[in-house]
Amino acid sequence: MKKISVYIVSLALLSLNSCGLFELDNKDEPSAAIQGEVVDAETGAPILTDQGSEGIRVRLLELSYGENVLPNPDFYCKPDGTFQNTKIFAGTYNVRVDGPFIPLLREDDRGTPLADETQEVAIGDLTKVKFEVQPFLNIEWVGEPQIINGKVKAQVRVTRGVSEEEFRSKIEPMGGYNANFQNVTDIQLFVSYSSTVGYRARDERWSSKIEYAGGAFNALLGEVVTIESIGTIPSGRSVFVRAAARINYDTPKGSGTRRWNYNESKQLLVP
């Protein structure tokens, strides 16, 4: 009889504790939104990027939780250098972007701040921000890309978006500086059926690259460079093409991700 009583009491306690499992979560879903753009500080032109983790990373850190809070999940800019996130809890955030440009947050080897051009933003229903940055490189089409015998033939010009002297003055104090950081390592010609053509949306059958060792590209800065796709693109279809180039420097520092600067995409009909 005693065993039965103990069983009944235990069952009752378990029932009381389990009631919480069936309670509704009344917490409001995140409804605040941020909308932003990343532009060249000198020209105002958008910083064209890749649609993915090789593109411009956006990081939000809610400041109301103290110094040890973890950042919100990162997200990335669209190819045109704009970004949007509509699922954020309202609050005050540090907003930071990392991409193929001079880092906005620069610290020395000990973590001492040297410069902080990130933004502190109160995010509400729809909050807009704008970042003006210094891109590593500028890539422009020279003439229009052509399709000849199923191959894209294009000419591009690559120039520095920030002078070698200014790059060094801002990057060297961060520690571990290497003169090779400014070397242009490759030019890519991305080809795809997708309008978001880039590294993440490329067709490897046709996309091509030219790689450069050391400072070999320095003599080609500002000069016309010809690049051609590989393979043969089927006729009767439209493809999108973009060119990109990058330097031997990763952003954020130590991430191992060397991000490309892009030009605008072009749509071509394959005859």
Specify the CATH number for the domain of residue 112: 2.60.40.1120
Are 157 and 250 in the same domain? yes
User: CA–CA separation, 88 vs 93, rounded Å?
Assistant: 10
Residues 107 and 173 in one domain: no
Give the residue from 49, 65, 160, 138 showing the smallest Cα distance to 97.
49
pLDDT at 2: 45
Cβ burial of 260 (10 Å; 0-12, 13-18, 19+) is buried
Report the length, in residues, of the chain: 271
DSSP structure class, residue 196: T
Reply yes or no on whether the pLDDT at 127 is more than 70.
yes
pLDDT at 13 > cutoff 50: no
Is there a single domain that holds both residue 129 and residue 219? no
DSSP H helical ranges for 113-250: 164-171
Strand pairing partners for 144? none
Number of structural domains in the chain = 2
Q: Which structural domain, as residue segments, surrounds residue 124?
A: 32-133
pTM of the model: 0.87
Q: From CA 261, how far away is CA 271, in angstroms rounded?
A: 30
Residue 3's pLDDT is 46
Residue 109 has pLDDT above 50, yes or no: yes
Q: Residue 233: give its domain's CATH number.
A: 2.60.40.2060
Whether residue 1 is predicted with pLDDT greater than 50 in this model: the reply is no
Q: Would you call 14 helix, strand, or coil by DSSP?
A: helix
Render pLDDT for 149-190 as a digit per residue (tens, 0 to 9).
Answer: 999 999 999 999 999 999 999 999 999 999 999 999 999 999
Question: Mean pLDDT throughout 22-51?
Answer: 85
Find out whether the peptide bond into 103 is cis, omega within 30 degrees of 0. no
Higher pLDDT, 135 or 51: 135
Residues 128 and 142 in one domain: no
In a domain, 16, yes or no: no
**Structure confidence by residue, pLDDT tens digits, 179-188:** 999 999 999 9
Whether 246 and 153 share a structural domain? yes
Same domain, 124 and 141: no
Question: What pLDDT digit, counting tens, does each position of 210-234 carry?
Answer: 999 999 999 999 999 999 999 999 9
Q: Are 134 and 169 in contact (CB under 8 A)?
A: no
Cα separation of 122 and 238, whole Å? 44
